Amino acid sequence: MESFVFEHAHRFTEKEHVRVMTAFSRKPRARTRRMAVLLVTAGLCLLSHYTLLLGIILLLLTAVGIWLPHTIPGTASRLYRESKLLKHELTYGASERGLWVRGPDFSGWAAWHLLGHWRIRGDWLMLPCSGIPPVFLPVSELQAAGVFEEVMELVRVNGIAYDGEAAEYARATASAAA
């Protein structure tokens, strides 16, 4: 493997962080569409006394679905608000030796074999490692720097695809490289 170093700095907004971290509805339009369908269905159910209870339940579930992500510990929104690191600009990096995150009063490095379940959301390659916060690398900048294939080779060897989208992406890049 050829040696490389890639580094970039980024400050996430809460909305951006939630979009990258959330497993469901990676696209805001899909979430809005799903919410609209639920509300229309609930409204139609309210029109008949036979389905009134179902309509009320659907409305309550919709309200809970909107409210819960902001209040339950462990959700992306709450993690962002409680994080002392994410509100600052952080420098994320990767080389053939490992991954790192640096920020004000913090520096963390991990070898590639500590990589966990990686994923791609939009333009972000998210690389969670044991012992440090997740490393976020923009796919477009990796490609522009000419190191995307080297990074993906290390990701495929050391990590586990989080979902079908990541696994499909790994297969496509592996077959394109072959």
Would you kindly state where each structural domain of the chain is located, as residue ranges? 5-12+88-177, 15-79
Write out pLDDT tens, residues 116-163.
Answer: 999 888 889 999 999 899 999 999 999 999 999 999 999 999 998 886
CA pair distance 175, 155, nearest whole angstrom: 15
Q: Which residues contact 134 (CB under 8 A, 6 or more apart)?
A: 126, 127, 128
Closest among 24, 47, 44, 48 to 36, alpha carbons compared: 44
As given in the structure block, the two tokens for residue 30 are 């899909």
What predicted TM-score, i.e. pTM, was given to this entire model? Answer: 0.68
As its CATH architecture, domain 5-12+88-177 has Roll (2.30)
Q: Please tell me the distance from the alpha carbon of residue 26 to that of residue 45, in angstroms, as a whole number.
A: 29
Contact 23, 163 (CB under 8 A): yes
What is the per-residue pLDDT for 25? 45
Distance CA 62, CA 41 (A): 11
pLDDT tens readout for residues 36-94: 898 999 999 999 999 999 999 999 988 887 776 655 555 777 888 888 888 899 999 99
pLDDT digits (tens, 9 = 90+) for 10-31: 999 988 888 887 765 445 667 7
- Taking alpha carbons only, the member of 150, 159, 171 closest to residue 111 is 159
